[in-house]
Structures are given as structure tokens and as C-alpha cells.
Amino acid sequence: MIAWIDRAGIEVGTFPVLDALAPECKVYITTRSGGVSTGRFESLNLGEGVGDRRRNIIQNRRKLYASLQINPYAVARAVQVHGARIEVVTRGGVYRGVDGFVTSARGLTLVVNTADCFPLVIYAPSEKVLATLHAGWSGASLGIVPKAFEILNGRFSINTGHTIGLIGPGICKNCYTVPKARSERFPEQFKKRGKSGWHLDLLSYCIEQLTSCGLERRNIFSANLCTSCDPELFFSHRRDGGHTGRQWTLATIERSPQPV
């Protein structure tokens, strides 16, 4: 489901299906390569507060923005807290205590910061409304997906039958074990007892949440990539013992072409 493209020395993943279904919606997934960070953060770490040098993070972000031709002042990113608060935004900036965005503003780039949690992108092509969600076990169990659809339906009256759901890389069920108490926040079909804990199928849970909110299964597309399984491509909080960088998923509705 993912195609890899090189943008000025930075490899990013895209969803080719958008070219046919919603060409004005652009989604990019970064990897850990193409930046200047070193050690455990090698090399395109985009996350703050993880121990990397701030000047490296700034340089990595500048490189990414330049490679994707993104206006850095039109980027909405969050200080995520693994919750379910969603902000409707119309301009760039840093939003604290937020784990999801909704916008209808063209040219505004929404960012999800991850290292095992799943980045979700929801796009309603008929109404030109975009949402991005940070869905880890906490946010997912707190209902971040249905809360997003409360906004999308209530404020923007989207047609869920035509709406697209995209799921970026996250930790797979084989790599992800949680304590019994945490597993009890999820239905039985999404967990299985293992030797070291309960294996949680967070990807399937996110898909089920999207379909429960009205999306057609045929309109949901997953990268089917595990952050923990692939140390060459991705940072992974679980695999790396919490000492690692962050990758981004970026989504935007392109501005309409100006008449000549």
C-alpha cells in the first residue's frame, strides 16, 4: 500500500491510492534516514524531548520541509499526551495536550509524531475535510477515533461512505505485548495471551473503529509496516527500550491551482 519516493535525499512513503481517489490530499511518511542526528537517533529524528540535540532536530525538520516544499509556518503539530483531545485548526503552530487535528484549510500541513503508535489519516474528499490522529493503546481505548467522527459529522457533515482512512506504520501484534490490566480495555478479538503478556492487535482495532464510525472497509488502506520489526526504516519505542527518535506522518489538502 506504500510507495517510496526520494525527495532531495529524503525517502518518504506515500499512499498511491490517493492519486486516484483524492489527488488534492497528500500524505507523507518519514523514515529514520536522511537526517543529521547520530547514535540512537540516526538520522532523521523529528521528535523533541527524546534526548537528541535540538540543533539536529531543527536541521532535520528544515531538510524535510524543504524536500517536500512545505511552508514551516503552515504546519500544525502537537505536544502529544496519549489522550483523545482533538483540535479543529486553521493555522500552523504548536498545540499542547492534543492528539488529533481536524481541518478544512487548504495548504495547512498536519503532523503526527510516532515511534510505535499508529498515525491515522481520515479524509473526506467530497467535503475536503482532513483529520490526523495519534492512536496508541491509550488514545485508541479512550475513543480518539469516534471522537474525531463526532467532529467530522457534527461540524462538517461528511459523507462517511466516501471517506478514506489511511493507517501508517505502527507496532504489530507479534511485537506488542501489554499487561493484563491494559489488555482489558480492549475486546477479546483484539488480544491474545502470550508468554510475556497479552499481545494486542492495535492495527485491527483501529480498522474496526473506523468501520464502526461508517467507513467502508474498501476505503481503508494500511501501510502494513511494523515499526518494531524494521530497525533500518523506523524508530521504535518498544524495541529500543524507550531511547529512540520519532518519525512523522504529514498530511495536507493542497491549495487549488490559481487561474492563469
First to last CA, the chain: 36
Task: Give the CATH fold of the 3-253 domain.
Answer: CNF1/YfiH-like putative cysteine hydrolases (3.60.140)
Tens digits of pLDDT across the chain (260 residues)? 799 999 999 999 999 999 999 999 999 999 999 999 999 999 999 999 999 999 999 999 999 999 999 999 999 999 999 999 999 999 999 999 999 999 999 999 999 999 999 999 999 999 999 999 999 999 999 999 999 999 999 999 999 999 999 999 999 999 999 999 999 999 999 999 999 899 999 999 999 999 999 999 999 999 999 999 999 999 999 999 999 999 999 999 999 765 55
The answer to whether 33 and 43 are in contact (CB under 8 A) is yes
Q: Rounded to whole angstroms, how far apart are CA atoms 89 and 91?
A: 6
Query: CB 23: neighbour CB atoms within 10 A?
Result: 10
Alpha helices (H) in 127-236, listed in sequence order: 137-141, 144-154, 180-183, 202-212
Q: pTM for this one?
A: 0.97
